[in-house]
């Protein structure tokens, strides 16, 4: 697998140095760590932080900056950062009003972030968190809901980041984030697996004409494979699967995200977005906010995910629209 890299084991450090170089208007790297700290941390506000393994670029550093995240903590490829490093980020980001952590629902991520929270609390910091579990795919074997944290996490970054910038306190942010997460669902489809740096083996196998529904952002295999027929049929399948989770009605307000998984060109993402638009218009659902692009990827996986967020409060839309200075929102 041809990749633009040097020694695979140096990829993360070189990635972080490249990001810090390219985006010094938004963030800075804390040397020798995976911590990216905003250049615009505001006093008297709750600091919102997030993180996880790398390999999901532009997540999470792309959302560090004015009015969004105060810091991201970036671990090895597909491996969450250590609790001690998350604790260090809490110390650096906390302005005395506490720290709010946005954590993707994967076992190791949750364990490390909660351990860091315990460490920080023991050292006098106020810390709260939300666990994002927007993935509505199922296990192939037992149909159990997976509820991993995937692309919708970026909507949580945006809404909670803007709310914190508007002065909400830790308790209010916790309540807001919990409601947003409960209103959000994502489903992803792979057209081709990714390959992590240093490996020559794709993360799963997929027939050349097939797609896989319900893949995870770490290359976890999906729950069903079938041939790719058209963007329309794919949109139909995803919209229907997501709609199950809502009581849809004419005039319902929705935010949607069409997220590329790493190597799918924008041309395809926009064709797909256009099909989603048509399907939601048929139901008279009002798409008040939309994002189309690469927001939470899985190295060079080819594919797309679709996220629905029901906008239950007008303030959520205002938070989504609030201007930011970050490199990827």
Count of residues near a second copy by CB under 8 A: 54
- Are 269 and 304 a contacting pair, CB within 8 Å? yes
Tell me the closest approach of the beta carbon of residue 212 to a second copy, in angstroms: 11
Distance CA 190, CA 192 (A): 5
Binder among 33, 67, 153, 300 for a second copy (CB under 8 A): 300
Residue 272: which residues within 8 A CB-CB, separation 6 or more? 231, 234, 235, 258, 304
Judged by beta carbon, residue 75 or residue 98, the one nearer a second copy is: 75
- Report if residue 153 touches a second copy, rule: CB under 8 A: no
CA distance 150 to 281: 25
Question: What is the per-residue binding string for a second copy in 192-221, x denoting contact by CB under 8 A?
Answer: x----x----------xx-x----------
- Torsional class of 164: left (φ above 0), alpha (ψ -120 to 50), beta (otherwise): alpha
User: Hey, what are 39's tokens?
Assistant: 């250049």
Query: What DSSP element (H or E) covers 185?
Result: strand 184-192
Catalytic residues: 56, 218
x/- site string to a second copy, residues 270 to 299, per CB under 8 A? Answer: xxxxxx-x---------x--xxx-x--x-x
Residue with smaller CB distance to a second copy, 14 or 175: 14
SS3 category, 241? helix
Q: What is the largest CA-CA distance in the chain?
A: 56
For residue 130, the minimal CB distance to a second copy (Å) is 26
Which of 9, 84, 230, 240 binds a second copy (CB under 8 A)? It is 230
Identify which of 38, 91, 92, 44 has the alpha carbon closest to the alpha carbon of residue 68: 38
Q: Which stretch binds a second copy (CB under 8 A): 55-63, 102-110, 159-167, 218-226?
A: 55-63
- Site residues (vs a second copy, CB under 8 A): 2-6, 11, 14-15, 17-19, 21-22, 54-55, 57-58, 191-192, 197, 208-209, 211, 228, 230-232, 234, 258, 262-275, 277, 287, 290-292, 294, 297, 299-300, 302, 304
């Amino acid at each position: 697998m041809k990749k633009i890299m040097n020694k695979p084991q140096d990829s993360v450090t070189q990635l972080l140095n490249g990001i810090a170089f390219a985006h010094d208007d938004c963030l800075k790297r804390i040397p020798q760590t995976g911590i990216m700290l905003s250049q615009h941390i505001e006093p008297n506000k709750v600091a919102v932080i997030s993180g996880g393994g790398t390999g999901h670029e532009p997540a999470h550093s792309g959302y560090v900056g004015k009015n969004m995240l105060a810091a991201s903590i970036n671990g090895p490829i597909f491996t969450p950062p250590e609790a001690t490093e998350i604790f260090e980020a809490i110390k650096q980001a906390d302005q005395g009003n506490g720290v709010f952590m946005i954590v993707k629902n994967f076992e190791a991520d949750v364990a490390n972030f909660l351990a860091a929270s315990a460490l920080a609390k023991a050292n006098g910091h106020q810390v709260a968190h939300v666990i994002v579990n927007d993935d509505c795919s199922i296990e192939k074997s037992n149909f159990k809901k997976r509820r991993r944290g995937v692309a919708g996490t970026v909507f949580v970054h945006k809404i909670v980041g803007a709310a914190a910038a508007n002065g909400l306190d830790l308790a209010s942010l916790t309540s807001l984030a919990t409601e947003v997460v409960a209103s959000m669902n994502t489903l992803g489809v792979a057209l081709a697996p990714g390959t992590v740096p240093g490996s020559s083996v794709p993360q799963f196998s997929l027939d050349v004409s097939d797609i896989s529904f319900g893949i995870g952002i770490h290359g976890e295999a999906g729950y069903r494979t079938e041939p790719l027929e058209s963007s329309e049929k794919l949109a139909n399948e995803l919209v229907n699967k997501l709609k199950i989770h809502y009581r849809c009605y004419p005039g319902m307000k929705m935010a949607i995200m069409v997220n590329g998984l790493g190597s799918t060109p924008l041309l395809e993402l926009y064709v797909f977005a256009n099909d989603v638009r048509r399907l939601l218009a048929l139901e008279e659902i009002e798409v008040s906010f939309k994002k189309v692009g690469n927001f939470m990827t899985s190295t060079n996986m080819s594919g797309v995910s679709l996220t629905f967020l029901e906008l239950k409060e007008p303030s959520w839309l205002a938070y989504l629209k609030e201007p930011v200075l970050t490199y990827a929102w």
